[in-house]
Amino acid sequence: MNDTQLTQICFIITIAGMVALALTYEPQFENSTITQLGEKENSKGILFGRVIAVIENYPITLFTLDDGNVALIYYPRATTLEQNDFVKVYAENRSEQQPTNPSAIKKPKKQLNLYAQKVEKQ
Amino acid sequence: MILPWLLLGSIAGIIAGLIPGLHSNNVAVLLAVSPFFGEEITIFMLGMCITQSFTEFIPSIFLGAPSENTFESILPAHKMLLEGKALEAVCATVLGGIIAVLIGSALTPFFFSFIEQNSQEIITTTPFILGFALLVFIFSEKDLKKLIWAAFIVIAAASQGMLFSNQVFPLITGYFGIAGTLHSLKERPVKARQEENAEVGSETIGSAIVGLIGGALVSVMPGIGSNTAAGIINVFKKTPSAKGYLTMLGSINASNFFFSFATLFALSKARNGTMLALKDKMFFTPEMLLIGTLAMVTAAGIGGLCTILLSKKAMGILDEQKTKKLSIASIVLMIILVGLFCGTIGLIAMIFATALGLLTITKGIRRSTCMSALIVPAMLFYIFILT
C-alpha cells in the first residue's frame, strides 16, 4: 500500500464515519416533564423543578423533585443540594431502578422513580 | 448537530499534536472546569485526543535528526529520516493507528467482557512485567561496559522519576526531546533527500496487532503510558524493522486512548487526564458509547489524512539549514512550555533529564532505558496498591 492509497482509505473512513454519525445521532436529552417520562419506560429527558426534600446527599444523592408532579430522583454522586433548590436534571426512566432508601419505599406507589445522569443547581 | 464539534475537536487535536509538549490532557483540564456538559463536549474531547495521537508523530519524526555516528542509538523514526524515508515513517504510524481504531471498534464488546473479568489479574501481574522489563533493559547489552552504563542509567533515571514524580512532561522532554535535538545540532546531520512516495506493506500489520493488544492492556493500567508500553513490548518482542516498530507505536498510541474510553464505561475508572475530565462531562449511556466510538473512528480518519498531508508539506519546506533552525526553535519552545506548565521544578527536572539523555546517546545505550523514570515509580505504585 502506498501513501496515496492510505490517504484515500483515511478519506473514506472520515466520510463513512461522518455519515454514520449523522444518521445515528439523536440528542439523548430534550426538555421534558415528569409526566412525559413516566409515560414510557427507558425514556430520557431534561427536567426543571424544585427540590422538595433531600433524603441523602453523600455518597449518592436521593431527592424528590417537583415540576408540577413529584418524582424520586436517584443520582449516583454526592451533591450539596438543599430543600427548595431549583435544579436541572438529566433524567432517565429506567424500569429496573429501585430506590434502596427505606423512607422512599413509604412514598405513595404512583410516584415515579428516576435515574439522573446529571443534576445542576440553577 | 455534533459534527461541527467533532471537526473543532479534530482541529484542536491537530494543533496540540504539532506543538511539542502540548497535550490534549492539558486542554482537557481546562475543559473540565468549563460549564460545558453533554454529548457536544464529549465528542470534542474524543476527536481532539484521537487526532492528536496521529499528528504528534510529525514533530518527533521531522525534528532533531542525529548523524551517522549516533545511528545505532537513535529511535527508528530518525533512522528512517536519515534514509530519506520520513514519509514512510509517518505512514507507518498512521497505518498502525487506523488498524488499531478499526479493529478496536469491532472488539469493544469483547474488551468490555475481558476487563470486567480480568482487570484485577492484569493489575496484579503488572509490577512483575515491569520489573522483568527493567532487567532486560540492562542485560540485553552484550558489552560489559555498556551493561554497566545501562545499569547506571536505569538507576539514575529511576531516581529522577521518583524525585520528580509529578514532572513526567519535563522528564520525557529532556530524555527524548531536547537531548536528541541538542545532539543533532552538535553533529553534522546526514543529508538525505526525502522520498516523495512511501510504501507500507502487509508485513507491518502484525506489529499493528501487537500494538493494539498492548494499547488495550495498558488502557486498564494506571500509570503506564503509550511510550512505556512500547518500550516494554519492544523488550519482549523485537520488531523486525523500524517501520514495524513505528506501526506498533502508532497502534499503541491510538488504541490506548480508544480503549481507555471503553474502560471508563466498563469500570467507571479514568486512566488519563482526558478521561478524568470526561467522567464528569458525559452521559454513561449505551448511545453515548456508540456515538463516542463512531466519533473516534471518524477522528482517526481525519487524523490520518491530516498527518500524511501535513508531512508532505513539511518535507517540502525542510532542508539542512531549515532543519537546524527548526530544531533550535523546537528546543526553545519545549523549554518555554516546560516553564509554563511545570514551573521552576519542571525546568530543573528537564535539565537533569537532558543530561542523562545526552549521556545515554553518547554511550550508545538504548534510549528507552530512560523509561525507568516512569517504570520504577509505576512499579512501586502497584506494589503499594497491592499490599
The C-alpha of A118 sits at a distance from chain B's nearest C-alpha, in angstroms, of 8
Identify all chain B residues contacting A3, using CB atoms and an 8 Å cutoff. 87-88, 91, 197-200, 308, 312
* pLDDT, averaged in runs of 10, over chain B (387 residues): 92 84 66 77 91 86 48 59 84 93 90 80 80 82 88 94 85 82 68 75 82 84 69 67 85 88 82 78 87 95 95 75 71 84 90 93 84 84 73
Kindly determine whether residue A14 and residue B291, on different chains, have CB atoms separated by under 8 Å.
no
Kindly determine whether residue B283 and residue A22, on different chains, have CB atoms separated by under 8 Å.
no
Domain range for B261 is 3-386
Per-residue pLDDT at B242: 80
Domains of chain A by residue range: 34-121
Per-residue pLDDT at A107: 47
Name the β-bridge partners of A74.
Answer: A62, A115
The answer to whether residues B247 and B200 touch, using CB atoms and an 8 Å cutoff, is yes
Kindly determine whether residue A1 and residue B197, on different chains, have CB atoms separated by under 8 Å.
no
How many inter-chain contacts (A to B, CB under 8 Å) are there? Answer: 101
Kindly determine whether residue A10 and residue B98, on different chains, have CB atoms separated by under 8 Å.
yes
The C-alpha of A106 sits at a distance from chain B's nearest C-alpha, in angstroms, of 29
As to burial, measured by CB atoms within 10 angstroms (0-12 exposed, 13-18 middle, 19+ buried), residue B35 is: exposed
Distance of CA A23 to the CA centre of its chain: 23
d(CA B131, CA B55): 32
Is A102 in CB contact (< 8 Å) with chain B? no
pLDDT bin (cut points 50, 70, 90) of residue A52 is very high
Kindly determine whether residue A10 and residue B298, on different chains, have CB atoms separated by under 8 Å.
no
Alpha-helix residue ranges (DSSP H) falling in chain B: 3-18, 24-32, 39-55, 57-62, 76-82, 86-139, 144-163, 168-172, 179-186, 205-218, 226-236, 242-267, 273-279, 286-317, 320-362, 372-386
For range A94-119, the mean pLDDT: 65
As to burial, measured by CB atoms within 10 angstroms (0-12 exposed, 13-18 middle, 19+ buried), residue B209 is: middle
pLDDT bin (cut points 50, 70, 90) of residue A111 is confident
Identify all chain A residues contacting B91, using CB atoms and an 8 Å cutoff. 3, 6
- Is the pLDDT reported for residue A61 higher than 60? yes
Which letter does DSSP use for residue A102 in this model?
A: H
Per-residue pLDDT at B273: 73
- The residue among B265 and A70 whose pLDDT is bigger is A70
Using CB atoms, which residue from B283, B284, B297 is nearest to A13? Answer: B297
Is A19 in CB contact (< 8 Å) with chain B? no
Per-residue pLDDT at B358: 92
The C-alpha of B35 sits at a distance from chain A's nearest C-alpha, in angstroms, of 10
- A34-121: CATH homologous superfamily? Nucleic acid-binding proteins (2.40.50.140)
The C-alpha of A5 sits at a distance from chain B's nearest C-alpha, in angstroms, of 10
Per-residue pLDDT at B314: 82
Region of residue B230 (phi > 0: left; psi between -120 and 50: alpha; otherwise: beta): alpha
- B282: how many CB neighbours lie within 10 A of its CB? 26
As to burial, measured by CB atoms within 10 angstroms (0-12 exposed, 13-18 middle, 19+ buried), residue B356 is: buried
**CA-based torsion, B15, B20, B22, B23: positive or negative:** positive
Identify all chain B residues contacting A16, using CB atoms and an 8 Å cutoff. 301
ipTM summary value: 0.80
Identify all chain B residues contacting A44, using CB atoms and an 8 Å cutoff. 285
Determine the straight-line distance between the first and last CA of chain B, rounded to whole angstroms: 48
Cell numbers at residue B163, please?
Answer: 524525585
Per-residue pLDDT at A33: 93
Residues 26-55 of A with CB under 8 A from B: 26-29, 44
Give one DSSP letter per residue of B60-81, joined into a string: HHHS----GGGGGGS-HHHHHH
Identify all chain A residues contacting B305, using CB atoms and an 8 Å cutoff. 7, 10-11, 14
d(CA B7, CA B14): 10
d(CA B141, CA B139): 5
d(CA B48, CA B300): 10
| Residues of B contacting chain A (CB within 8 angstroms) | 1-3, 6, 37-39, 87-88, 91, 94-95, 98, 102, 197-202, 283-285, 287-288, 290-291, 294-295, 297-302, 304-305, 308-309, 312
The number of domains in chain B is 1
pLDDT tens per residue, range A3-50: 999 999 999 999 999 999 999 998 888 999 999 999 888 889 999 999
Kindly determine whether residue A21 and residue B2, on different chains, have CB atoms separated by under 8 Å.
yes
3-state secondary structure of A6: helix
Identify all chain B residues contacting A92, using CB atoms and an 8 Å cutoff. 285
Per-residue pLDDT at A66: 93
How distant, in Å, are the alpha carbons of B137, B138, B147, B236 from that of B153? 10, 9, 10, 20
Residue of B nearest to A12 (CA): B301
